[in-house]
Chains A and B, each alone.
Chain A
Amino acid sequence: MTNSIREIPESAGFLVIGSNTTENHPVIGSMIKNEVVNKKKKLIVVDPRKIELAKFADFYFAIKPGTNIAILNGFMHVLIKEGLYNREFVEKRCEGFDELAKTLEKYTPEYVADICGIDNADDIVQAARLMAELKPMALYYSMGITQFMSGVNGVKSTANLQMLLGNMGVAGGGVNPLRGQNNVQGACDMGALPATYPAYIPVASDENKAKFEAAWGTQGMSTKPGLTLMEMMNAAHAGDVKAMYIMGENPVMSDPNQQHVIESLEHLDFLVVQDIFLTETARYADVVFPACAFIEKEGTATNTERRVQPMHRVLKPKDDVKDDWWIIMQIARRMGANWDYEEPKDIFKEIIAVTPSYAGITYKRIEEELIQWPCPTKEHPGTQILHKETFSRGKGLFTAIDYTPPFEETDREYPVILTTGRILEHFHSGTMTRNSKVLDETVPEGFVEMHPNDASNYNISDGELVAVSTRRGSIRIKAKILKRSKPNVVFIPFHFFESCANKLTVDCLDPVCKIPEYKVCSCKIEKISA
């Protein structure tokens, strides 16, 4: 997030696009709901499904999955055509406007409404006018923007819109991606990415390599950017990757195209999995290490607003269950490293020495203060709002982006659009929530959510077991009939191994960041019983 959670009351209104906030980030969802319902703030929602927030929205756009860029371009087209954008901000702080304006010319409300499947094109005009009045408007998005082959372009489009409106660098504005895991921000910050060291320092640089070799007292590190998660699986499938070490992940459940993932793991010569349960992935391992769960360990985690927070040991782990860092250190030592961390604190001291954005953070400070990185010195209070005076690169760059359709379009054989995601009561591959009584009892099994029109076409009744198939595979799953998605769009949560949504999803990737297109593929629905 460029801005902070505590600024929600300072926003005049919200654009929520591609985020089912009240189910997937419920606490932030409630905060936004409070502003809209109890304080009469404005809300614009763009989502293929009529999510809870849509009920309270001034404008709700039920777009066809995968058409975010078109509608964002449509809003911007109106803002420029009617001269409603923030000229001062654009002239002073941004560049690339002319090219953007040129690209946007063809995105008339009618053209966009046609792409997105919106009935009333004039709503796009009205919503854009409302956005221009909201000073400031905060934009919130989540995986409904990113999990497409055009994910990177979707993200850039959100930035285009907020720069055009002049909502960057101000309290209550900003581009606010809601991160889906409690420490996904921190894992990225720490360099658990193939192309960057901690603090996003590129690995493809001899200078950076030398710096980290010196800091870590080693030699022979690589400047070649590594493989992303999906590329690793492909390389394993092809036999180029021979061994994998997987800590706290369950790719068999969470990666697209499950069959391909399983084959990839089976091709490996050697697989180590370190987890709290014998997960679907761990079953393919040669060695499994039992690791501590989150409340059995100490350390820090960084949330979606870049806030670094302390985690404390609440429960004592069983004797043979160990901290993840300890296990890695033991292997490293056996392979010749001279690491001697005694506690997480020792590691954190090393982190702040090599991570400029964390340099001023200490265990003591985060116990007492609210600190968001960048925090470069011990005296620095941390950074609540990014891009306040200037953008990181100087001027904010508008990127002219055209709408591109998703990888798979519906056809006669696979006529229905399938989109996937999470639900309120469950999380990711279900390892944790399905082992928690209240959550498991509340939603014990998966479902395919479909519109009554579709149900009627296929002669399916609520709760009936149906077959959903794509080019990758087929599952049996219960139908849940409600008017949430539009006709011809179905939704399946991916938490349930018995009706695994990722047997169906397509493993095509965004060419830049390699994110899979979980949010749209083509499927067919079949009645099982006569």
Chain B
Amino acid sequence: MEKITLTIDGKEVTGIAGQTIMEVARENGFHIPHLCYHPKLSKTGACRLCIVRINNTMLKASCTEPVVSDMKVITEDEGIKSIRKWLLGLILMEGDHNCLYCDADGDCQLQAYVKTYEVEQSKEDFPVIEREIDYITSNAIKRNENRCILCGRCVRACKEIQVSNVWGLCERGSSTHLIADDDKKIGESTCVKCGTCVQYCPTGALTFQPVLGKGPNWELKKESSICIYCGVGCKIDFYTNKEGLLVKTMGHEDGPNDGHLCVKGRFGFDFVQSPKRLTKPLIKKEGQFQEVGWNEALDFVAQKLSAAKEQFGPDSIAGLSSAKCTNEENYVMQKFMRSVIGTNNIDHCARL
């Protein structure tokens, strides 16, 4: 692979032929503002926010421009700053970006850049085209196109990551808008509700239906764990609110899933907070379950198992472990059956 040496903001860096300026810059710790670009998706150069100055003259979109030897890249100067501010201003004029009513408030790339570049509300009277709001047809995904900046990340995420090709952009110019399948509502389309489009949306145009706890984005805590469902072992970021309730999940980039999730990994966790969960040990007395304390339940079980072992031998007892439990728990369960009970009657649902 041909190595290419160039300078970014005066620092000498190397990239590989075929890489874009954006890619080399990111690898070397430079942040270039961007909205339509995402490292996991194909490049379109749509938003132009990532423009950089090349060899002190021309401006190019860094997300699509390949690196060339001895290139001098400036990621930001006064000229670029004012263009970025102007571009952001245009985006704001085109839509209805009122953060007060937006679920993405505090977790919005557009909002972050607007604050960084101190963009103010336009005083000009711009004809705003009312676009579609669909909060009802899907129980998983909400869509408000007045907040859409037409970056096309959702379209590419659906095509390149989930590979369902549900989202598409339709019509041209200021009439451009998002459609599902052949112009259906999202809830009536072939959408499988993986939520990948929402994860990749840089604004609040696509958001999740609130099915779990709620809370402002800046109050949410994040912790990763492994999905409970199939054997892929997707790594998931779980977001919880101040009350300790689960709010949403996002695919973690470092897992075997590479950031992706399916509908179960996205929406399959309210069961943890279900009021039907067991909360106390139960002992069946005269055919009815009764809540008891831990000591009573544990003593009773130990005594019954000991008695069965004594009377009928260790092989009269059998244990089922679980593919839903951790390695540690499975280990302890088989150790219990083998060393405490004295039988190898231990299995789990591997064959089911």
Contacts and interface: CB of A to CB of B under 8 A. Distances in A.
B140 A438 contact: yes
A330 B348 CA distance: 21
Contacts of B223: 312-314
A344 B297 CA distance: 23
13 contacts: A5-B232, A6-B256, A147-B351, A186-B326, A193-B347, A194-B347, A229-B347, A246-B319, A298-B326, A315-B246, A316-B244, A335-B302, A438-B140
A331 B336 contact: yes
A484 interface: no
Nearest to A320: B280
B46 interface: no
A126 interface: no
Contact of B328 (A285, A299, A441): A299
Interface in B208-227: 209, 211, 223-227
A255 B319 CA distance: 15
A513 interface: yes
Interface string B297-332: 111111111101000101111111111111111111
Interface stretch (A64-72, A78-86, A345-353, A520-528): A345-353
A311 B225 contact: yes
B264 A290 contact: no
Interface string A214-234: 001010111011111110100
A337 interface: yes
A115 to B, nearest CB: 25
B246 A182 contact: no
Contact of B321 (A187, A436, A515): A187
A190 B329 CA distance: 9
A375 interface: no
Interface of A: 5-6, 24-28, 30-31, 33-34, 37-38, 146-147, 178-195, 197-198, 203, 212-213, 216, 218, 220-222, 224-230, 232, 235-236, 240-249, 251, 254-255, 269-270, 272, 275-278, 285-291, 293-305, 307-316, 318, 320-325, 327-332, 334-337, 341, 344, 347-348, 350-351, 370, 424-425, 427-428, 431-433, 435-439, 441-442, 513-516, 518
A253 to B, nearest CB: 10
Given A33-B163, A438-B211, A182 B327 contact: no
Contacts of B303: 334
Given A6-B258, A437-B211, 4 more contacts: A226-B344, A227-B347, A242-B316, A425-B263
B234 interface: yes
B328 A241 contact: no
Interface string B236-264: 00101000111000000011111011111
| Chain B residues touching A, majority SS | mixed
Contacts of B347: 192-194, 226-229, 232
A189 B327 CA distance: 8
A435 B270 CA distance: 7
B297 A289 contact: yes
Contacts of B321: 187, 190, 192, 247-249
B284 A287 contact: yes
B346 A192 contact: yes
Interface residues of B, number: 110
B351 A515 contact: yes
A293 B322 CA distance: 12
B231 A438 contact: no
B317 A244 contact: yes
B105 to A, nearest CB: 23
Contact of B333 (A188, A247, A304): A247
B344 A314 contact: no
Closest 3 CB pairs of A and B: A303-B233, A299-B326, A248-B322
A295 B348 contact: no
B74 interface: no
B11 interface: no
For A5, A185, A198, A436, the residue with the greatest tally of chain B CB atoms inside 10 Å of its CB is: A436
A248 B320 CA distance: 8
Given A218-B339, A286-B283, A288-B278, A324 B348 contact: no
B231 A25 contact: yes
B340 interface: yes
B342 interface: yes
Contacts of A225: 344
A324 B325 contact: yes
B323 A427 contact: no
Contact of A321 (B209, B231, B278, B339): B278
Interface stretch (B48-56, B64-72, B81-89, B154-162): B154-162
A200 to B, nearest CB: 12
A243 B305 contact: yes
A243 B323 contact: no
A348 B264 CA distance: 29
